Amino acid sequence: MARKSSIKNLKKARKAKNDEFYTQYIDIQKEIEKYLDYDSNTFRNKVIYCNCDDPFESNFFRYFVLNFNRLGLKQLITTSYKPSPVANIQLQLFGDDKTLPKSKGRPKVTANKFIINEVHDIDGDGEFDLKDVAKQLKANKHNEWAPLEKNGDFRSPECVELLKKSDIVITNPPFSLFREYVKQLFDYDKKFLIIGNINCLTYREIFQKVKKNKAWLGNGMGRWISGFIVPKSYELYGSEARIDKNGDRIVATNNCLWLTNLDHGRRHQPLPLMTMAENLKYSKHKEIKDKKEYPKYDNYDAIEVPFTDAIPSDYKGVMGVPITFLDKYNPEQFEIIDINPHFFTIVEKGLPKPPQLKIAGRNDPYARILIKKSRKII
């Protein structure tokens, strides 16, 4: 079904390049806890780097500093990016940015870095909170709060130096620079847990990493991520934008995912499926139920499966499935062959260009992941 307003919003988004979406604390907490459930030492003795997170505003900083001891972190590094809306979202505990003396070639406003080595209750109120962090930072005891030379761009030499020192990068990067951002993570061989748009799976570079099992989806996708806090300047439109009880402006995008190379339990769980005969008889999707067979592509030896839960468990050939299948992908259960090259072409050395999939004489308009059952029996 076409959406009449979609192109208008698409053009608007393309022009605006709104990268200032702030992740909610609850969504970070939910995701991190899943890795701890799988392996409680996932973050122990690790240097976590949040390199797209203004410490004044970021819930990533807030989460990791408040859980520093429980997770057993070795160090937490956070760098901000300037210019950005200073402290207009949530945290104003630390005062203003620290700045460097004016000099030729130096930006008017520089970004800041926070390096946390130790956190504990220093004000004696019986609990550890951000007030303790603020006091420790201001006193420069054990921790460091300093201005950066430049604007804090993740590609800048000083941020790259911090990246080299880190073990795991965890953040919500700017979507408009997503591919460049992921490339940097692989260039420096870093573990990561980042938020991306579902469509990033169709980007050539990202899909290749997923196909080669060098990156995969985290625990939550779509509505698992409950929404992002947006600046006051962001126009709230659409049915899933709201102002919450704290006055924060929330946009529930429902099109985001966690992309990671940290292992977690969910990706080892097999997707429960019915056989082809059972699907044709009992599927909840009318496109499948009571049909004689699954449609086949005109120009590719594979069947079209428009819903992940309608993947037949007993079909041994290639199947074209929605990209959201990757949220349920278990590499022991299925093998990724390729992707329908509607948006781009993936051509590995020595391999022919895959065809644009056609059904009943028409191009399949949707991106499809081509998969087949793994040879491994699970």
Catalog residues that contact DNA under the rule CB under 7 A.
1-7, 9-14, 16-21, 172, 174-176, 178-179, 195, 197-199, 202-204, 222-223, 228, 237-241, 251-256, 284-286, 306-309, 322-324, 327, 343-345, 365-366
Indicate the residue among 1 and 377 with the shorter CB distance to DNA: 1
Angle at 177 between CA 203 and CA 191, to 5 degrees: 75
Angstrom distance (rounded) from CA 125 to CA 248: 28
Tell me the Cα Rg of the chain.
23
CB of 307 to DNA, least distance (A): 5
Indicate the residue among 72 and 322 with the shorter CB distance to DNA: 322
Angstrom distance (rounded) from CA 341 to CA 360: 18
CB of 342 to DNA, least distance (A): 8
296: which DSSP letter? B
Indicate the residue among 122 and 203 with the shorter CB distance to DNA: 203
Indicate the residue among 132 and 304 with the shorter CB distance to DNA: 304
CB of 304 to DNA, least distance (A): 9
Indicate the residue among 147 and 173 with the shorter CB distance to DNA: 173
CB of 252 to DNA, least distance (A): 6
Angstrom distance (rounded) from CA 42 to CA 73: 10
What is the torsional sign of CA 22, 26, 29, 35? Answer: negative
CA terminus-to-terminus distance, the chain: 37
Indicate the residue among 41 and 88 with the shorter CB distance to DNA: 88
Helix locations, 67-115, DSSP H: 68-71
The dihedral region occupied by 85, where left means phi > 0, alpha psi between -120 and 50, and beta the remainder, is beta
CB of 181 to DNA, least distance (A): 11
Helix locations, 73-156, DSSP H: 130-139
CB of 369 to DNA, least distance (A): 9
Angstrom distance (rounded) from CA 350 to CA 347: 8
